[in-house]
Structure 1
């Protein structure tokens, strides 16, 4: 059977799933600000997230809670079941209490996602010991370990965990004081004593564990999540027990389909990030579901691991970013068995980050229709590390790409006017942080006079006259800049327009032009869509691909179309370059979620920026026709 064309797929029904309320109250204020909240009340949620673990262990002791790949070459799934997990968490908690760990001596986790990582984090949560998962990049990809030293200097941990101590040895020597206990699971460090992870489980849990758990207050610190540090040194966002527990209930009320069948998640999203560490793990516990840790990610040489996992695990919901979906499409298109398994029991696809191109959504629709005869609802939302993360969701079927949505139950959204129809998002509710760890001056600056946290993100109404169409994400306020004319450029708006106009050809872009006469862009092409458009094999080298006359002509047409609709120099892209060297994660140009760090990219690529604005225009630079 051939993949249906777009018109056939568009006519197919969406899979029917239960959805939450979109009934939102809007208050317009004299100062121009707007207040929005869901009319649906937030339902009860537990005092601690680990109460879900205890309940699941009692009701489904043999159900898989977590699974990860074992060592190569076999790489069989190593499974942890709920009954075993609950018993191990309590024993580890006993050992943590015996070591005198506390809010003054928290736990730092340096390594990535894994079963031991989860057990240690849950034991900390259960007895009220704050923990922090630190991005492994600060340890393994840094030359000077400055950010790791900054993070650990703020935390002052009493225990540090690294799954492979030998791999982290240099980082440990430079950033972890010698008197801080090191716990590891394999490969002990050569020059530093450590405790095998199994030693944390040696003692049975005493009544002290339950007593400590009973004493944990909902507003005590559960974990600290550090921001990416793209605009300075990372800030440690406090996540309370209440934030973690309530946010899962908020999400399930907004999208009941998540809990409508036994939840199965396969996710690569990193656990030191709020989406992976809070939402994916939290929803798994809230729904007594099964979480399979994806050892792949949306990058060349890594996405193949994700494909292998999807051949074995059929998720009920699938969370990713635009880059992740784009990299899966050629595999889904080429492999009927993979395609049928992937779509077999999916309730919904959910993404965050930049907007999805129309072509990408249409391709997913066509593949789903071929596999199961119906489209899978594609949803999106908006949140932040400071909101645990879910705050706003587009929880309806058939919305356009790039939506933030509407406030979910329990969270208030304040829109502070920025001009040009854009608003700064500000949040208040039980899911919102009380501030930053050990940085009171930053905590004070976070909140406005009414206690709303300033998110620094811009939102705008899809249709100012129709609230039901929701809000769209409009970029980071700090990313916006002025041209030499003094005109402000809305970076988020232009990036979304460029991606949408390319109809799947462009995956992402960096918007440039601060203090220049016109806006420029560095474009990341979608290799799958571009090779298909040019009739080239998938393995075509990127420099060859971006120089292909067919692709150059298509890109030129996109720029010209935007320019023809532009109403001023800040509303279209005058110059663009198709990147032959994509953003580099090791150089900080990509975040752990796969989105572009615009500031880092422009700083690192100063010669490329000069080439973009050279006069006369360089041969590699596309110039919109209205400015030629």
Structure 2
């Protein structure tokens, strides 16, 4: 395994009027202002290097940097031929693909703003309504949909937009005279694209109401990659190779994985797999062939890969052979998963895995802080990126964090009120997140994520509860079986938690004789395991603000249709507790009758589930 070159940890702290200003000592270096600058540079410096690859049966369909630039220019000319103008919006309904990438870059090259939308929304009434809602707010002049099998969705009042055909992406133009005239227009438009040009819109998760439309400028996208490369210095040493499934309509995949590849002249193998038992086999197949140098996933994804890595030494060797870093995000990595992945890496390479994590939001171009040093455990998010400043405001033993830097959005489209509320009078963006110092005596050790401030509440005793701490610590006892946790207790004397299980892992690890529904999960063994895990958690969390009086295993998973589940797959805690108030009340009645006992119950089921009733 390689020894990646990382910047030394060096932070600067300033105390001011009760707050702490916290930054990395390294300033941000000069960098290109547009993604198109990176494409132009690599098309000249490494014309034949593969930029993007996607599956085509047993082979990979690829496009090199020079060919990608040629096709981007040709598609851009076709957009101009179709009347595309600066500042109009392209609604791009497609999964990760070469066509998606080239169309997106072509639009940006002539000042058309891209808003990527997952094609998953095409297959449900709620999804189609979401697409129509997005179109109503952004009023796209252009739209593209790759799925030819599904009918075009209704865009309501935006139905007059022009739909682009997949054939247009071939880049063929009508006549040579047209090419000449359009190319001159293209060069004129391209010259007007700068750092302040709006590049794309991304939607927030919608965890606190209607999703906000976040403006991303070209400078934001480029600054973030320069910031990361200054701390993860190995990115400048050799082109990274990624095999990545993270969707481009979300910030981590679209702003981090894709832009990291482009900024550093790397190669991105588009993984059509997903971290589910049904689709993980596709990821395993791809990773056997690719051997990435940089790999990122959510904890659930690592949990899905782990059995394959443990069962197949050849796969483990291919996976770990040339990795610089394993990166995780979205949730803390369970300690058992960390330990088992490290053991696999040692067997394959002689070294423990080199882990990294970070923290950020859609409004900060995905990333605001990263670890670029050895970490002591999961949940650490590192230090601010170069050029950023964090304002940490004390809040009941933690810090509310606000950020300022070149990768922070200028605001929300068409929403001056929420834009104004998001920034303080010094221009710091209020993230709504809580952090703590890993080692208060050593700021270079970085920060730990503690959850959302909007999730905090008081018990009847007046003691404050920080649900983020429980959500981070409980999975270290349950492992990846518990996918998420909702904490109830405002105005109560005790805490009750609701556990959202990874049902596929429950089937795999607790498979027994089939129950009455024929779903074959040994619910007794499953609940016994969970009871022991919560008891172990309570043994080290004895205070009323952390100790769990009762846990309820969810039969009905959180619903996106009813707003319980956000677009990026996280739980909207307030919406969840409000919708299921009757179930919450029932669990408190059980808890009152069994004081001091950790009980497990199942909520009223509206859909089949592999966990049987107790």
TM-score, structure 1 normalization: 0.87
Is the aligned partner of 1:348 residue 2:325? yes
- The residue that corresponds to 2:364 in the other structure is 387
Offset, 1:409: 0.9
- The residue that corresponds to 2:605 in the other structure is none
1:109–1:133: 8 Å Cα contact kept in structure 2? Answer: yes
Gap change, CA 1:325 and 1:121, over 3 Å in 2? same
Is the aligned partner of 1:50 residue 2:41? no
Gap change, CA 1:624 and 1:254, over 3 Å in 2? farther
Is the aligned partner of 1:612 residue 2:595? no
Please give the alpha-carbon distance, in whole angstroms, between the structure 2 residues aligned to 1:298 and 1:584: 19
Bigger shift: residues 602-611 or 47-56: 602-611
Which sections of structure 1, spanning at least 5 residues, go unmatched? 1-13, 186-194
Q: Which of 11, 29, 32 is matched with 1:24 structurally?
A: 11
Please give the alpha-carbon distance, in whole angstroms, between the structure 1 residues aligned to 2:55 and 2:531: 45
Which sections of structure 2, spanning at least 5 residues, go unmatched? 601-614
Offset, 1:593: 4.8
2:7–2:230: 8 Å Cα contact kept in structure 1? Answer: yes
Q: Deviations over 1:164-205 (max 9, x none)?
A: 244152x2x2446332111232xxxxxxxxx75436765646
1:318–1:346: 8 Å Cα contact kept in structure 2? Answer: yes
Is the aligned partner of 1:455 residue 2:455? no
SS of aligned partner of 2:490: coil
Gap change, CA 1:260 and 1:142, over 3 Å in 2? farther
- The residue that corresponds to 1:7 in the other structure is none
- The residue that corresponds to 2:270 in the other structure is 293
Offset, 1:512: 2.4
The correspondence of residues 80-159 of structure 1 with structure 2, limited to 5 A, is 80-143=63-126, 145-159=128-142
Is the aligned partner of 1:499 residue 2:475? yes
Offset, 1:26: 0.3
Q: Deviations over 1:371-410 (max 9, x none)?
A: 2221220110011111112211111123310111111111
Offset, 1:147: 2.9
SS of aligned partner of 2:342: helix
Bigger shift: residues 90-99 or 471-480: 90-99
- The residue that corresponds to 2:198 in the other structure is 221
SS of aligned partner of 2:589: coil
Offset, 1:103: 4.8
Q: Which of 357, 378, 381 is matched with 2:334 structurally?
A: 357
Please give the alpha-carbon distance, in whole angstroms, between the structure 2 residues aligned to 1:562 and 1:369: 29
- The residue that corresponds to 1:198 in the other structure is 170
Question: Alignment RMSD, CA only?
Answer: 3.0
Please give the alpha-carbon distance, in whole angstroms, between the structure 2 residues aligned to 1:477 and 1:247: 25
Is the aligned partner of 1:623 residue 2:610? no
Offset, 1:352: 0.9
1:64–1:79: 8 Å Cα contact kept in structure 2? Answer: yes
- The residue that corresponds to 1:35 in the other structure is 21
Please give the alpha-carbon distance, in whole angstroms, between the structure 1 residues aligned to 2:211 and 2:168: 30
1:611–1:618: 8 Å Cα contact kept in structure 2? Answer: no
Please give the alpha-carbon distance, in whole angstroms, between the structure 2 residues aligned to 1:292 and 1:253: 24
Q: Deviations over 1:196-250 (max 9, x none)?
A: 5436765646122222122123112111111122322111101111001111111
Gap change, CA 1:593 and 1:325, over 3 Å in 2? farther
SS of aligned partner of 1:288: coil
Offset, 1:329: 0.2
- The residue that corresponds to 1:162 in the other structure is 145
1:284–1:290: 8 Å Cα contact kept in structure 2? Answer: yes
Please give the alpha-carbon distance, in whole angstroms, between the structure 1 residues aligned to 2:3 and 2:334: 24
Offset, 1:469: 2.2
Gap change, CA 1:183 and 1:504, over 3 Å in 2? closer
- The residue that corresponds to 1:398 in the other structure is 375
SS of aligned partner of 1:574: strand
Gap change, CA 1:313 and 1:588, over 3 Å in 2? farther
Please give the alpha-carbon distance, in whole angstroms, between the structure 2 residues aligned to 1:580 and 1:327: 21
SS of aligned partner of 1:433: coil
- The residue that corresponds to 2:535 in the other structure is 560
The correspondence of residues 508-523 of structure 1 with structure 2, limited to 5 A, is 508-523=484-499
Offset, 1:132: 0.9
SS of aligned partner of 1:613: helix
Count residues with an aligned counterpart.
594
Bigger shift: residues 102-111 or 330-339: 102-111
SS of aligned partner of 1:615: helix
SS of aligned partner of 2:544: coil
1:112–1:270: 8 Å Cα contact kept in structure 2? Answer: yes
Please give the alpha-carbon distance, in whole angstroms, between the structure 2 residues aligned to 1:581 and 1:617: 24
Bigger shift: residues 593-602 or 209-218: 593-602
- The residue that corresponds to 2:544 in the other structure is 569
SS of aligned partner of 1:548: helix
Gap change, CA 1:142 and 1:478, over 3 Å in 2? farther
Offset, 1:495: 0.8
Please give the alpha-carbon distance, in whole angstroms, between the structure 1 residues aligned to 2:504 and 2:93: 35
Please give the alpha-carbon distance, in whole angstroms, between the structure 2 residues aligned to 1:526 and 1:258: 34
2:135–2:158: 8 Å Cα contact kept in structure 1? Answer: no
1:322–1:507: 8 Å Cα contact kept in structure 2? Answer: no
Q: Which of 382, 391, 400 is matched with 1:424 structurally?
A: 400
Offset, 1:160: 0.5
Gap change, CA 1:616 and 1:315, over 3 Å in 2? closer
- The residue that corresponds to 1:411 in the other structure is 388
Offset, 1:445: 1.1
SS of aligned partner of 1:390: coil
Please give the alpha-carbon distance, in whole angstroms, between the structure 1 residues aligned to 2:151 and 2:208: 26
- The residue that corresponds to 1:67 in the other structure is 53
The correspondence of residues 474-485 of structure 1 with structure 2, limited to 5 A, is 474-485=450-461
Gap change, CA 1:276 and 1:547, over 3 Å in 2? same
The correspondence of residues 318-329 of structure 1 with structure 2, limited to 5 A, is 318-329=295-306
Please give the alpha-carbon distance, in whole angstroms, between the structure 2 residues aligned to 1:611 and 1:137: 35
Please give the alpha-carbon distance, in whole angstroms, between the structure 1 residues aligned to 2:518 and 2:156: 39
